[in-house]
Structures are given as structure tokens and as C-alpha cells.
Structure 1
């Protein structure tokens, strides 16, 4: 069967359109996922390489993206023409790449006229209309965040400044260069670079292309900490700016720079310690909003600033002492007629329109579902947004008039998760699409006419269809503690037998894990581990624990001051439900998670002995005194009459003596997020209590220990599967 016809047969099952391709009969796949960990995690991935880095041409006629059609990690630039429906590869950097672990081209932007700029290994390159490639700005390392001005004349980007010792600083410097320039060196510095601890985080163009607004982060008050570790046979140091709860943290202020004069004016949030969530220039360029909150995310406040004078005006404020999720977003309404505000002040994250300062926002959307993010189409007076209105686990594209009115679903009926990038005129959206049976693909959504999405890529290898992957289902059940409705994602073996009771693995546990997308969680490469475990006869359970997005503010606030309490009760409720329904053998239940998921794993073993027959904690946050300050959203500040008891109650370190069930800990020694020294302290307590456990140390491993390199991924996942098999897999004796 030709590649085109194989692509058509696969995608028609998903409800995606492939012009000119007839459906083909598929061979019956084998019963159950039969691949090993080594076979699932290969340099040439069976699920393919996810297409990323979407960039539209100014006229919306074509979209550039980064992809590898052979399933290798290295990405080249591809282009899809909307009108003709053709897809082609524009660069061949992968052909000469020697590093199988390299990610390849990281960003691309369409400069018009067949020209494009892209980033490869931190360097900036220009590809001419004739295909000639030139390295430009060779003196600027670690280039990123390419953005073309709305008028197409100027390319802006951020780079790191050279360090004194020949290395690179962590700070970002904002540059611009003439988009039509062909000279190797033509960039002009606009902001940043005087001190590596004061840097440009991100930026955005004004609508007229004459001004850039940028977020300048200042780490000078933040403590720096040494993370010593051994790797490659010697002592090494990963020195990082790292705050603990109560420490000074990054301070943000928003700058505006006039391109013609180079003049910069800074605008601070209402409190200089506030966290800035987003910011934006009005369409006429005269005003700037700053969307911010206090460190604990309890007071949401928006200020509007006069760009010319710097005068600041309070625009919006809302306070909730139990609030735990700062998923707020703000944008200018069409015609600069006030602000569109995404807030859960009325119970669920919904869109509101506030025209004037301190007036009451008017709700534009409503329901017992939530809006994840939105984009304003100012020219047509529409707002496009992502929502779980169809189902908690989904992210579909919807549209609502900016003035209020009926909500219209724009994405096709196929269940799953969309991550769209809209064309400049909003005729189409290039969407990163996935669901429980579909690895990520680039699909084209027609925003005006609707209809099935058009598949642009076909990423999985041919052997992908020869496997029967997990049977994923969604279940709703009440909390066994307070009756709160909970939702879970359950992965069953492809040949599931209702007459059997299966071993269960709860995990990987975390918040926001109930998603209809390949692998459940995009942030971690555990899709293959999950499929392997299901193929070996395990059931997998993920629960939308309290504190997660999607079920309203009241449900989230149940997690306030409750790490290792309400969340692990929700996990136990899922176990009880599957046991009561006859899916699971209650004597063969395991649990695992990493980071916050490691905290929940340790707390579950400590507080619920006998519920779990084994647990694996990866990079476990065992001591919340060493968490990031942002964790104060849930656990509160390290002050008050209930301290230190409140932090101790949320830290597994102080519950370690209660652990009696088998435990494995996996941790990388270089981790700056959860310190390996915390795992050493936790291990010391277990040893003092003569409590047996297994410790898997990954020398030089980072916080995302499952993603560092292929060899480490395979090693860690094999250790995990062997551990679970030894404690959960044997059939119970009669």
C-alpha cells in the first residue's frame, strides 16, 4: 500500500479528511501491545515525531512547521500550502546530523517572498527564496523567540549574552534586524544584556510594528544555590537561581521600546513583588495592561498604563483567600473597547468583558465547563477559545462574538485535544491534535466553513497499526470522603476480560492528568511505559484530583493547604471504585508519580498502608520547605500561627516512619527543581527506621529524568517495570 493510501486509511478512522484517498481494509492487529521497553523507545519512534513550531505566512496561504517524517528526533522545516493541499520539506539539516538525540531546528518564521529565518543549535539562519542557507548574527548565541513585525519589515528575537568565562549567561537580550537584510550582521540591541540576572523573558509586537512590549525579569534579589553532584567521574556544580518559600523571587516589570528612537519606558505592576501572568498593548499602541497577582495567587489585579506618560490606573481586582489556580488571561477587546478577562470569579473559568476601570465584568460564556485559553480576532469581532465543554478530558475550539451571543464549536466532532495556531486572518487554524488512539499530528481546521479537519502529517511508523493499544475509557464516581464528583481516565488491556480481576497501577499521578490525548500527559514520555504495562496485563488509573483544572473553583479549592491529604483521598476513591466494579484485585494495586506525583506517592504509602502493595516515587517533593515559592498557592506561606505544623503535615519527610509497603525512589543528582539532597535526607530517615526501600540514582539526571536521554529512559523504565512485576504481577494464591 502506498504511503498516501496508508495515511488515508489511518486518518479516516479518526474522522480526518484526506482528499482523494479511498478507505482501505486494515490487517487485524495482534491482541495486546507486544513490544518491549526497548522496542517502544527507539531513536526512530514507532509513534513518529510530533510536528511542532507552527508559523503562518502573513497572508495565511501556507503554514511552516518542524517535523521528521521518519520518526527520528531531529526536525527539519516543512511547508503546507492551504489552497493546493500540498506538503513538502524545505530543509535537509537532518541528513548531515550526527547526534541522534539532537532536536534539530527549534523555531522558524516566514519572512515572505519565499524567505524564512530559523534557529538551529542556537544559531540564527536565513534561507533565501532560492534555497540558499546563510548563518546570520554569528556572535549571538542561543537565539530564540523569533517574531516578525505585523508589517513584515522587522524580525525580533531574544538571545543570550556571552559570559565572562566564555560561556553564556542565562539572561535574554532583545534584538531586532531588518527582515529584508542579507548581511550576516544587522541586528540592533533594544533591551537587556547589562546584567545576566536582569533579562528579557518574552516580548510582543504592537499592532503598528513601531513598538515592542517586553517582560524584563530581575533575579538579583533571588538566592543562588549550589547543586553539587558527581557525573563523568568528577564532582560538578549546577549553580542556579533558586528561591524557597518565603525567599525573594523574580521581579517582573513590563518595558515598552520605541523602535525609531530606542527609548524605553518601564511599567511595574501594582506591587513590585507581583507575579505577571500576561500583558498587552492596545491596538492603537497607547495603552498597556498588566495582568498580575500576589505570590500566593489569592488577589488577581489588572492595571492599565499610559505608554507615553507611564501613568498607572487600577482596572480590575478580585480576591479569594482559598484560590489555588492562577489560570487567568487578559486581552484587549476589539476596538480597544476595554478588556476580555478569563477568570473563575463566578465559579468556573469563563470569558468576561469589562469596558471601563472598576466596572463589573459582563460574562460572555457560561456553563459548568471551563475555558483554557482564548485569542481575540479583533478585525471580525470574534473570540476563539479552547474549552472542555464537550468533556472534561477534551480541548476543543469554540467561537463567541466579542459582544456576546451564541457559542459555536469550530473544531470537528472528533474527540480529542487541539492546540491551535491561528492564521493571521483567522481563516484557518493549524492545530496540534491528538487523542487517546492518535499520536500527535498537524491538522488544518477551516474556521469559516467547518467540516472535517485536514490531516497534514502522518507521523506513526507503519508498524504502529500492527499493535492493539490500550482501551481508554472515562469514569465518574464520588469521593469516598465527601461525595465530590471525580473523573478518571482508565486504560484497559486491549483484550480485557470482564471476568478477571487485574493488577492496577495508579499513575503516573499528578494534577491535570485526565486528558483525551496520546499518552494522557504530553509533558512526560510515559506513553510507552503505560502501553507496555497495559500490554503486560495491568490496568492504569489517572484521577482528576482536587486542585486540577476543569471542574470549577470549588472543586479546586478543596486542595488548599492539603498536599498529601485531599489529593490522595481522591486517588483512593478511584481505587475503591475500580475494586467495587470488579475490575481490580485489591491486593495488587501499585502507585507511582514524579515530582508532585512523587509527593502523592510517598504520602499514599505513609497514610494509607495496605491500600497499595508497592509505590515508585520519582524525584519526590518530600520537603515542601524546599518547594518553589509558587507552591504557596496551595500550601500557603511559611508563616502564621499554624507553622511549622502546616508545612510538616504537607511534607512526606515528616511522615516517613509510617511507610511499610515496598518503595522505590528514582532521582537525578542534578535536579534543580526537587533537590537530590532532599531524597538523601528522606533515605536517611528510612534507614534509621530500618525500613527497606530501593534507591535508583541517576548521575547527572535532571528533574525530567525520563527525558534526559534514551539510555536513561530505558534504564529507569525497566527498573520500574521489574519492581512492579515483583510486587503486583503474580496471581494471588487461593
Structure 2
């Protein structure tokens, strides 16, 4: 009997024994250990019903008000596949899951794209009849496809040229440029800065297509060497470096009925940025934001579609630092003469209501809330909802603003990161959120009564399995003594306050990025937790210059990238050194891209503090970086020689004292390998030892299974030169 009891207890302890993450899990385990959630949630139009994918991804399930929000299956993957096979018997379909990126166009009609063996298809699917109501097919190698609202035409790219296919399968050639330096309709225009996410725009009627025509024939070719061939081959890309010749872009309107074109008269200089492209609802005009190359003067212009002539400038924005347009105009559904415009011009990215004469009707901003994701209008078109910041940028909440009164209502209330959306009738909102203590909660909430119907209350996926270290969010005052900064501290596993631990600081620090959030795991990745399990204090700080805190917070980096960012990171170091469990002689730093720049900057400028650094894809001198991003923050090398000199790490290699590992992708088209090669060459000339590792087949980051190799290399480097040294 005693033996049986011992075996039972042993089995029980084995079942609930916790262990550390493996390096493989630390790299790829975010999905394995993801808290239970609802994926691909969409409200159906005009009814109180929501749909989402089930846990198998094979079925589209629904909940609606009429059945007390109980889950039922609406459609299956086989329903879609059978409809595709019936509509296109000449092709073969083997869907692995229900189409993830579907969109409800009406109560019963959804739209999505699927790939067959022979072609790609853009379809409208009738959920009631379980049949395809409309469909367009394009070649399987087509890219950047964009269908009209009516799904009667689809524009797509054949390399650098535009094709349009109609519902009868007829295809017309919009452009026929044989020089690869002329690129039409591509979303990779102005290197996708300025909020650019597409290169073509249909009008509402679907008979006119606006598109970018990018001329980069005058831009210097930059060689990338492909080592995967028997004899290495050179692949040239166009890479305009700061202060050098840049691309010239125009906007063209193509009439699909007459096969005629007109180029908008956007004028001189030719090196300017065209963004915020938006069709007027009456389709007679199109709006374009013209930003000068200096990026400090924006004009919002209206153009005539027939002649391409400038009609008027609605308004202008100027700044002593930079103007950064990020969003197209959003016209009101019940007033074609008014639109919403987003700008951070007055401090925070917020909403402003204008009319088409350029008159400001109303400011719709709320406190210091930064609009992050503009959602939908209500059914009457009198209100609009959005996801915005709260809690010094740590939280994301759902807001709704009345366009007439300007009154803003905060709909979600629990502190955390909310992904939420209102039903089209405005009666309910779906809310899914997490915070540092809540893995995931999902509910349907009645807007008026606030009554919530719980859908998910996820358990901690690591409990009883993985020995996850303690994590807490901290607040540190910036180097200017004024600004609270958000930090994340992960304690070593099996923490002992009497011990002194080495530190790994994980840094990014650049614009449009935020590493610390009030969400599950605090925004940390599993590699951070893995390093804590190996005995490190792991720390991250979002310094000034990073995202979600407003214009002044970000623009502090203008013309002096890295300077204030480093000063704030050193405040983080002061915080760490104030902890009795931190070994002040064993502090290292790791980061990628801008974080690689920060890593090398800290290691060289603060050589007495940082003993180890791992810099991935680092910018080492901003003069080697591209025009659009680089000149926004630094101006040109000709205009700002002192700023470039101070931010460069190449001319500071003689200050290197610690151990530094530089990692780069040989095919990197973002931070070209020349950046790290120049740095390595300078180290050699200065007699400084530095470690260098190249991933031959990877671009700006290392992905797939090779990332396991990368993370193991980083962990070993810290162990060798910091923990065990």
C-alpha cells in the first residue's frame, strides 16, 4: 500500500512538474502557448451577430443576440471548397482552413480570396445559399490584386505592370513598361513610408483606377549578392541613400471604359512624396497629400480627375521637425462634403473633421489619446469608433466619438490591451483583451446596459507546464527629468534576492515601435523569458523617440538620432543598478535594426557600463540608410553634418572595450550589409576585436527554423562573455 501511494505521488509530481522553455520553444512557441482566443472576428452587417473561426480553423462559427449568444456553426471549410469546385470545375482546390481574411459585405454576403492550383480567385460568397455569387480569377503569380467594390473588375500586377481583368475573364494591359526601373501600381512606393500600404485605388463605381507610377531609373543600383547559386549572382536593387538622388513618383488615372489615362499635375520638384490618396465620393476629384523631400511641409490638394489639374489646396501643415502623414481621408457616409483627417500636428494623432473647402469643422481629439486604429461609423453615420491609447501609452481602449457634438465616450474600461469593435447597429461591442495578469478575456457587451456575456476566460497556458519567471512593469523618469517612461523587468527564474544576477537589456528605441505594453507577458517575447530562465535579469525600456506617446515624445530624436534615446536608456541602467540583486559589472545589451544601432551606440558611448552587446542588422552610419526614413529624422548629410557625425558608431570604434557580436543578413535590402562591413573594417583598422556572423540567405531579419540558430547563438554569446565570465 505504501509503495502504491509513493508511485501515485511520484506520478502526480511528474504531471505537474514545471520546466524551463527549450530554445526551440523560446523561438517558435508563442503559438503553442497562446492563450485561448477568438480569431478572425467580424460583425455581420445590420444584425447583432458575430462570426469567427473555431479552434480547428475549419469552421466559421457564429453567435447572435436571438439565441442568447450561444455558439453555432455557420459555415464549414467544405462548404466553401464545394462551392469553389462547382463554380470552377477546371481548377483544383484543397483548402487547409476556412478563409481567414474574410469580410462581411452585407448580412449574408462575405468576400475573400482563395488560391486554386491554377489561379487565384476573389469571390463573394452567399452564406445562406452556400454558393458563390460573384467571382474574379487572376493568374497565380499575380500580386497586389485590388478588386472593385462591385467585384466586376480586379487590378493586379504582372511584375512592374498593371493588368485589369473583368468578370468575363477579359484582361487588358494598363501599362507596358519594359524598363524595370519604371514601377506601376506597387505598394512599395516611397519604401512604404507615409502610411502607404497600397499602390492602386478604384473609384466607387469601379471604372477608374488611380495608381502610382514610380520612376527610379535615376536611382543608384545597389548590389545584393545571392550565394545560393553555383556561381554567386548579383541582384541589383534601387536603394536611394540619404542625400542622394531619389525616385520620382506621379499619380495616373486610368479610365477602364475608354482605356485612356491622365497624369495628375502634381508639379515640381519631382522628388516629393505623394500620399493620403483618396477618391472623392462624387468621383470627380481625387485628393493627394504632397510632402516635400525635406518632410516638413505638407499640402493636401484636390485634383480634377478628367484633366488632372490642381483644383485647390485645402490646407497645409508645417513643422520645424517633420510632418508625417500616415492615413488616407475618411469621408462621412452621409455627407460627401465632409471627411475625417488624422494628424499629430497639435500633439497627438487625433481626428479632425473638415469639409471639402478645407475648412476645419470640429476637432474630435480626446485628452492625450493617440488614435491607433480607426474603426467603423455607426449605422446612422453620426458616430465613429476607434482604438486609442490610455495609461501613458500602455493600454489600448475602445472609444466612440459623436461627430456633431464632439463628445467622446470610452466604451471599454478594464486596464489592458483591448481589441474591440462595435456592431453595425451600435447596440453591442465585442471586446477581447489581456493585461499582465489576464491571459485573455472575450465578451459581448451591451452598450446601454453594460451587461457583458462572457465568451472566453482563458487560463494561463504556462501554468503547471513552464516555469515562467516573474515580470513587472515599471516607470522610470526620462533624462530630461519630466517624462515617465514605461519599462518591463523580468526576474530570473527561481529568483533569490540575496544573489547578484547579470543583466540583458533588450532594446529597440526607434520610432513606430513600442516594446512595453499592458498585455499578456507585458509585450515580451518568449526569448526574453528564456534568458530570464537561464539566470538573467531581462530589462526593456521604451525611451523617448518610440511610439504611442505623442509628437513631442517622438520628435525629440530629430537631427540627433540615438542621443536622447541613449540618455533615457542610461536612466534605465541607473534603475537597474539601484537593485541589490543586479550585478552592475555584468550588464549587456541586445537589439535588432534600430535596436542594433542602439546596441552599438551604447556599447561604444557607455563602454564602462556595457560589457557585452549583440547587434543585429545595425545601422552604423545614417548616411548609408535610405532617403525616406533617414532624412525624416536626420535631414541630409549635407544639411546636418554634425548630427550624422555624432550618431555614427563607425568613428567611435576606438572606444570599444566590451565583447560585441554583429549579425547581419547577407540579402538585407533595408539595412544594407555595407553598414556592418564598414563598421567591421573600422574595428580592424583600430585594432579592436569584434565578432561577426552572416546569415547568407536572409534579408533584414532571420526567420523560420534558422531563427532557432540565431537565438541559440545570442544566448551562448551572453553566457560566454557575461554570465560565465
Q: What is the CA distance between 1:69 and its match in structure 2?
A: 4.2
- Aligned counterparts, 1:39-438, within 5 A: 39-42=25-28, 45-48=31-34, 69=55, 78=60, 80=62, 82=64, 85-86=71-72, 90-91=76-77, 107-108=101-102, 117-120=112-115, 123-125=119-121, 137=137, 139-145=139-145, 147=147, 149=149, 153-154=150-151, 157-161=154-158, 169=159, 171=160, 173=162, 175-178=164-167, 186=169, 188-189=171-172, 191-192=174-175, 194=177, 196=180, 197-200=182-185, 201=187, 202=198, 203-207=200-204, 211-231=208-228, 234-258=231-255, 260-261=257-258, 263-267=260-264, 269=266, 272-312=270-310, 313-323=312-322, 325-327=324-326, 330-333=329-332, 335-355=335-355, 357=357, 359=359, 362-375=362-375, 377=377, 379-411=380-412, 413=414, 415-418=416-419, 435-436=435-436
TM-score (norm: length of structure 2)? 0.79
Q: Is the 8 A contact 1:411 1:445 kept in 2?
A: no
How many equivalent pairs are there? 665
Q: What is the CA distance between 1:261 and its match in structure 2?
A: 4.5
Cα distance in 1 between the residues matched to 2:575 and 2:19: 26
Cα distance in 2 between the residues matched to 1:438 and 1:375: 25
Q: Is the 8 A contact 1:105 1:121 kept in 2?
A: no
Cα distance in 2 between the residues matched to 1:659 and 1:105: 52
| Larger of the two Rg values belongs to structure | 2
Residue equivalent to 2:10 = none
Q: 1:138 to 1:388 in 2, by over 3 A?
A: closer
TM-score (norm: length of structure 1)? 0.78
Q: 1:411 to 1:628 in 2, by over 3 A?
A: farther
Q: 1:301 to 1:469 in 2, by over 3 A?
A: farther
Cα distance in 2 between the residues matched to 1:323 and 1:277: 15
Q: Secondary structure at the match of 1:507?
A: strand
Which ranges in structure 2 are unaligned for 5 or more consecutive residues? 1-12, 82-95, 188-197
Q: Is the 8 A contact 2:59 2:73 kept in 1?
A: no
Q: 1:508 to 1:189 in 2, by over 3 A?
A: farther
Which range moves more in the overlay, 203-212 or 696-705?
A: 203-212
Cα distance in 2 between the residues matched to 1:339 and 1:136: 31
Q: What is the CA distance between 1:672 and its match in structure 2?
A: 1.0
Instruction: Note if 1:615 corresponds to 2:604.
Output: no
Cα distance in 2 between the residues matched to 1:441 and 1:233: 53
Instruction: Note if 1:680 corresponds to 2:664.
Output: no
Residue equivalent to 1:527 = 525
Cα RMSD, aligned residues only: 4.2
Q: What is the CA distance between 1:316 and its match in structure 2?
A: 1.2
Q: 1:714 to 1:449 in 2, by over 3 A?
A: farther
Residue equivalent to 1:4 = none
Q: What is the CA distance between 1:309 and its match in structure 2?
A: 4.5
Cα distance in 2 between the residues matched to 1:353 and 1:429: 24
Cα distance in 2 between the residues matched to 1:265 and 1:457: 56
Q: Secondary structure at the match of 1:714?
A: helix
Structure number with higher relative contact order (C-alpha < 8 Å, ≥ 6 residues apart): 1
Q: What is the CA distance between 1:226 and its match in structure 2?
A: 1.7
Cα distance in 2 between the residues matched to 1:376 and 1:452: 21
Q: Secondary structure at the match of 1:690?
A: coil
Q: Secondary structure at the match of 1:288?
A: strand
Which ranges in structure 1 are unaligned for 5 or more consecutive residues? 1-26, 95-101, 162-168, 179-184
Q: 1:400 to 1:713 in 2, by over 3 A?
A: same
Residue equivalent to 2:557 = 559
Q: Is the 8 A contact 1:339 1:354 kept in 2?
A: yes
Q: Is the 8 A contact 2:490 2:532 kept in 1?
A: yes
Residue equivalent to 2:516 = 514
Q: Is the 8 A contact 2:667 2:698 kept in 1?
A: yes
Q: What is the CA distance between 1:528 and its match in structure 2?
A: 2.2
Cα distance in 1 between the residues matched to 2:528 and 2:23: 10
Which range moves more in the overlay, 270-279 or 532-541?
A: 270-279
Q: Is the 8 A contact 2:242 2:637 kept in 1?
A: yes
- The one-character-per-residue Cα deviations of 1:609-655 (angstroms, maximum 9, x if unpaired) are 12112110001111211212121111111223x53x43232222222
Q: Secondary structure at the match of 1:338?
A: strand
- The one-character-per-residue Cα deviations of 1:560-587 (angstroms, maximum 9, x if unpaired) are 1112211111111111123225463222
Cα distance in 2 between the residues matched to 1:247 and 1:260: 41
